[in-house]
Structure 1
Amino acid sequence: MPLQYALVHEWLTPKATGGSELVVQEILKHIDADLYALIDFESTNPDSYLFQRAIGTTFLQHLPFARNGVQKYLPLLPLAIEQLDLRAYDAIISSSHTVAKGVLTSPEQMHICYCHTPMRFAWELTFDYLRSNRIGQGLPGVLTRYLLHQMRQWDALSANRVDYFVANSQNTARRIWRCYRRPATVIYPPVDIERFPFVSEKQDFYLTVSRLVSYKQVSLIVRAFNQLKKPLVVIGTGPELAQIRNLAQSNVQVLGAQPNEVVEQYMAAAKAFVYAACEDFGIALVEAQACGTPIIAYGAGGALETVRSIWQHPDTGTGIFFSTQTEAALMEAIEKFEVYQKAFQPEWIRTHATQFAADVFSEKFLAFLHNSWQDRLTKNQSCSD
């Protein structure tokens, strides 16, 4: 008899279109699973692949302004995820970057968590979060610090509800160990390589595509290009959009949000893709490489796993790293890139990106599911003996 699967994700809204949502979409192509989330506004979205699908939700679905995101209800998220009744399923897969892994399960069920990251705002980005928000200052700041303390405690405790962790990168696996003291198997997330056109002849501009939030460091990129006077195109939207538009000089175009086809055209044509964030994986870096576009990236986090340094791999390098998140370090990397630009081979860059293709993810994830279930059966048999 086939296993009954439940797949749990944090939230499903038209604005949630990142790498974690791509993982959910790819899993659903191969596994007949019932889908659950804190909130769902995709099953009523005619443009979504989830349109008219039955999706289980929580009481947060009915709270004011939930459509625009449930982060404003942060203290309620652990309580809400624990209200999902999943007793009818043999196996639960959680796609988690905040609280999805905290669902309640029984000893008879298997729980696999595909962890995109432990809660960033509660762990390594705590002080950035406090500095960049008004609720991090004064008396509200004291209460916010206490709330984050409580969230860390719940997050670490809820990790015990997971039988097997999967991480989206070695970087995330290390953070899972640091936060939860749990090992994790690395399976890189799926990237739709075929969506991005390969172009060998590049135009004379640099590109960054990103959500415009503080930790993405887009303002740092803009300041560096202001000084270099080299052409830069910025695509993306977020809380820092107005600030970045005010910061940009005439050599920097800030286009805001753009349709997929426009993003793809710019990625394919750019002479290099610039990225200054420390990412858990960094799907945009792989998407740019799928176009044959070399990378200039901050040398930390997932970038070290998806980009091959031209210094270490002179014949097969796909990018250049800079060592600190400073304008000077980025400017130096850009100048070096222009010297060594002809050393990059667009065809090889595209080939390198294919190791992160969706079919590679599916093969490895399905094998992991099978092996985990067999491992669980073996352990249960040992206990009964």
Structure 2
Amino acid sequence: MRITVAHEWLTNWAGSECVAEQLVQVSGARRLVAAIVDRTLASDRFPRTSVEALWPSSLPHAQTNWSRYALPMMAAWATTRIEADALLISSHFAAHAAARRFDGPSIVYHHTPSRLLWRPDIELSRLPAMTRRAVRHGVLPPLRAWDRYVAQQATVLLANSSAVARRIEIAHRRTARVVHPPVEVERWQTVEHLEGSHVLWFGRLVGYKRPEIAVEAARMSGLPLVIAGDGPERERLEDTAPPGTRFIGRAPWPVVREAMMRARVLVFPGEEDFGIAPVEALAAGVPVVAAAVGGALDYVHHGENGLLVEVAERSEDQVVAMAAALRQAWDTRWDHAQIRRTAESFSVERFRENIAEVLDDTLGTAWRRERVAT
């Protein structure tokens, strides 16, 4: 059985690319298709897989500025006919449209329905008010109708969290089975947990993750903050962070490991589709203080392995609530062994087992025989 994996674009390495890698490995797929491909990354991460790029990959500066080619990528996925016996799709924008012209069974793993179409506030906030209105009322409705139409073509839909499954139900009017993404739980479970000395932020410094909430909550609670990660918000945060805040950037593993070992609590104030970093913290025995929204609801169990903070309408109120939760978590005596156990169900091995089960249900056992033969 010839299985092909389709993935949005292959220009950097993050959570969705880890999923695509596992889909290739579990299914035994020999072919990966992406709208835009960085050839160096492809050869490094998929040395035994034929990686094919669609036509948007040949557009000027596509590998470094893919966001300007949203419409070409949508068109490419909708018009490309992929030849295979079965198709596995890793989608967070438009790759699920590949099922439209595919004749066999197709399984879509949704990281989220397209944020550009269904949750456009961050992108639209950068535009003038008149342009925002024109996009909302003139451009988005037909694109949403198209997105909903192509989403009906897939045989099976998977979602990476319960929150994403609810978004799929609203946007695409379909039911998706939740299969949590793979997290390197075992790697973090070997990290010794020491007496905590700081609150830890771990992740990219981008607006939707709300790093400014973490900084202001640390200031209000009077707790020391270590920020592991980099991004466009770093310079602004360095200018406004309270004295004593440490920025360690995109540090090598030994430095990040040390920061996690000595973390008393991880702060996670943004809304994520799933959120890998908090699960890594749990695997290391570190409690998580998270906004009660998005993927965090699937793994932060209030009072057991962290605290959930209800989302407030005003940022000022969110800071106050997050600061109070950080102080409460700091003063709580946690069962760190129990916290580690709550992360075990999100391991790479569990993900592989779940995907294999979906393949069995959808394709029968033929895919296993082919995989053994190769």
TM-score in same-fold range (> 0.5): yes
2: CA distance, partners of 1:232 / 1:253 = 6
* C-alpha distance in structure 1 between counterparts of 2:16 and 2:42, whole Å: 21
Distance across 2 between alignment mates of 1:57 and 1:46: 10
Asked whether the equivalents of residues 99 and 106 of structure 2 are also in contact (C-alpha less than 8 Å), the reply is no
Helix, strand or coil at the partner of 1:233: strand
Q: Structure 2 matches for 1:345-384, cutoff 5 A?
A: 345-374=335-364
Deviation at 1:374, TM superposition (A): 4.3
Choose the corresponding residue for 2:308, options 321, 332, 351: 321
Residues 150-299 of structure 1 aligned to structure 2 (within 5 Å): 150-196=142-188, 197-299=190-292
Residue pair 2:184, 2:347 contacting (<8 A) in 1 also: yes
Structure 2: how far apart are the matches of 1:141 and 1:305? Answer: 33
Runs of 4 or more above 6 Å deviation = none
Higher relative contact order (CA 8 A, sep 6+): 2
**1:127-179 residue CA offsets vs partner (Å, 9 max, x unmatched):** 23222x1xx21454345434433432222121012111011111111111011
Matches within 5 A, 1:23-38: 23-33=19-29, 34-38=31-35
SS of 1:85's partner is coil
Length-normalised TM-score, structure 2: 0.89
Residues 5 and 92 in structure 1, CA contact (< 8 A), matched pair in contact too? yes
Pair 106,155 (structure 1): closer, same or farther in 2 beyond 3 Å: closer
Task: Assess if the C-alpha contact under 8 Å between 2:196 and 2:261 holds in 1.
Answer: no
2:128 alignment partner AA: Q
| Equivalent-residue separation in structure 1 for 2:154 and 2:116 (angstroms) | 21
Structure 2 CA distance for partners of 1:106 and 1:40, relative to 1, 3 Å: closer
Distance 1:83 1:259, change over 3 A: farther
Match of 2:91 in 1: 96
Structure 2: 5+ residue stretches without partners: 313-317, 366-374
For 1:128, give the aligned amino acid: I
Query: Following the alignment from structure 1 to structure 2, what is the Cα–Cα distance between the partners of residues 62 and 162?
Result: 28
User: Relative to structure 1, is the Cα distance of residues 116 and 107 closer, same or farther in structure 2, using a 3 angstrom cutoff?
Assistant: closer
Question: In the alignment, which residue of structure 2 is the partner of 1:18?
Answer: 14
Q: How far off its partner does 1:52 sit?
A: 7.3
Equivalent residue of 1:89, what SS? coil
Distance 1:367 1:234, change over 3 A: same
Partner of 2:115: 120
Contact 1:58 1:83 survives alignment (8 Å): no
Structure 2 Cα separation of the partners of residues 320 and 286 of structure 1? 14
Aligned residues of 2:210 and 2:270 also touching (Cα < 8 A): yes
Q: C-alpha offsets along residues 283-331 of structure 1, whole Å, 9 cap, x if unaligned?
A: 1111111111111111112111111211xxxxxx110111125111101
Structure 1, unmatched stretches of 5+, are 311-316, 376-385
- Deviation, structure 1 residue 64: 1.7
Q: Secondary structure at the match of 1:122?
A: helix
Contact 1:281 1:303 in 2 (8 A): yes
Count of matched residue positions in the alignment of Structure 1 and Structure 2: 357
1:77 deviates by: 1.9
C-alpha deviation, 1:107, in angstroms:
6.8
Paired amino acid for 2:4: A
Aligned to 1:382: none
